[in-house]
C-alpha cells in the first residue's frame, strides 16, 4: 500500500495543490484545514509523514509539532514545515520544535516532493544494528540512542543522523554540501546554513564532547580522530 501523507494547511488553494501533486506521485493523502483536526488525524491514522503549515487557525503548527514530538508513538514522525518568509529557522529546526525540514512559501510542488521522499527514506529503520564509540560518546543505530559518559542526549532525528554520519568518518573533512546530500538527502546543493544550525545545536548538546566536531574554515566539518577508538 502506498504511504499516507497528512497535509495540514488552512489555505484551500495550497491544500488542493499539495493533494493533487502528492496523489499524482502515488501517495495517499489526508488533509486537515485546522490544527486541532490535523492533530487528531495524525494520532488516528498514523501517516508516514506530515506536511505542516505553521500559521493555522486554532492551534499553531508549532503547538502541533510539539505534541507530535512529545508523544512516543509519533516522536520520530517526519514533519516538513511550511513557513512564511523570515521565520526563525534556528528555532524551527532546533530541539524546541523539532521540524525535520522546512520550505518557505511559495514553494514548488516538485521540490516539496523531493524533500518529502528524502524524509521518508531516512525514516526507514536501519537494518544493521551497529554501535559507534568515540571518546565518551556512544551511538546506537538500532535504538537511535546517543549518550555522553552514560548520560542520554535528547537529539532530533536529524541531529542523530548528522552525528552518526560524522562519527563514521573520523578525521575526514566533510563539506556542508556533502552533508546536505548524504544526511538530508537533497538532490541539489544549497541552504548550507541549515547544516551550521544543526552542528551548533549538536555541539551544545554534546557538552564536554563538543570537541569531537571541529570546524575546518572554508571547508566544512571534521569529526575528531581519536588515537584509540573502538567501533563495534
Ligand atoms: Ca496558513
The domains found in the chain, sorted by start residue, are 4-123 (3.40.50.2300), 131-231 (1.10.10.10)
CA 202 to ligand 1 center in whole angstroms = 31
Cell triple for residue 168?
563514521
Q: Quick one: pLDDT at residue 202? A: 95
For the segment 51-58, the average pLDDT, to the nearest whole number, is 90
Cell triple for residue 214?
571541529
- Residue pair 79/68 in contact by the 8 Å Cβ criterion: yes
Is the pLDDT at 228 greater than 60, yes or no? Answer: no
Cell triple for residue 58?
486554532
For the segment 126-153, the average pLDDT, to the nearest whole number, is 85
CA 77 to ligand 1 center in whole angstroms = 21
Q: In the beta sheet, which residues pair with residue 49?
A: 5
For the segment 125-147, the average pLDDT, to the nearest whole number, is 81
CA 184 to ligand 1 center in whole angstroms = 25
Q: Quick one: pLDDT at residue 1? A: 65
CA 42 to ligand 1 center in whole angstroms = 18
- Taking CA atoms, 227 is separated from 117, 134, 170, 197, 215, in Å, by 39, 10, 11, 29, 19
Neighbours of 129 (CB within 10 A): 9
Which of 17-21, 29-33, 188-192 bottoms out in mean pLDDT, i.e. has the lowest?
A: 188-192
Amino acid at each position: 500500500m502506498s504511504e499516507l501523507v497528512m497535509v495540514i494547511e488552512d489555505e484551500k488553494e495550497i491544500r488542493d495543490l499539495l493533494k493533487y501533486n502528492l496523489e499524482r506521485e502515488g501517495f495517499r493523502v489526508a488533509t486537515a484545514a485546522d490544527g486541532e483536526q490535523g492533530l487528531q488525524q495524525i494520532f488516528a491514522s498514523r501517516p508516514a509523514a506530515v506536511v505542516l503549515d505553521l500559521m493555522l487557525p486554532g492551534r499553531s503548527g508549532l503547538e502541533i509539532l510539539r505534541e507530535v514530538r512529545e508523544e512516543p508513538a509519533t516522536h520520530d514522525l517526519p514533519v516538513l514545515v511550511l513557513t512564511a518568509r523570515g521565520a526563525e529557522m534556528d528555532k524551527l529546526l532546533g530541539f524546541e520544535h523539532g521540524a525535520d525540514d522546512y520550505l518557505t512559501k511559495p514553494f514548488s510542488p516538485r521540490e516539496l516532493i523531493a524533500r518529502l521522499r528524502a524524509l521518508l527514506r531516512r525514516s526507514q529503520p536501519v537494518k544493521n544494528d551497529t554501535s559507534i564509540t568515540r571518546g565518551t560518546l556512544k551511538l546506537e543505530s538500532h535504538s537511535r540512542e546517543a549518550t555522553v559518559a552514560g548520560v542520554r542526549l535528547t537529539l532530533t532525528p536529524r541531529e542523530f543522523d548528522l552525528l552518526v554520519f560524522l562519527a563514521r568518518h573520523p578525521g575526514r573533512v566533510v563539506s556542508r554540501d556533502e552533508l546536505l546530500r548524504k544526511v538530508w538527502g537533497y538532490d541539489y546543493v544549497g541552504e548550507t546554513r541549515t547544516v551550521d544550525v544543526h552542528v551548533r545545536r549538536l555541539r551544545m548538546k554534546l557538552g564536554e564532547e563538543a570537541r569531537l566536531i571541529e570546524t575546518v574554515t572554508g571547508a566544512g566539518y571534521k569529526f575528531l580522530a581519536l588515537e584509540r577508538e573502538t567501533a563495534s
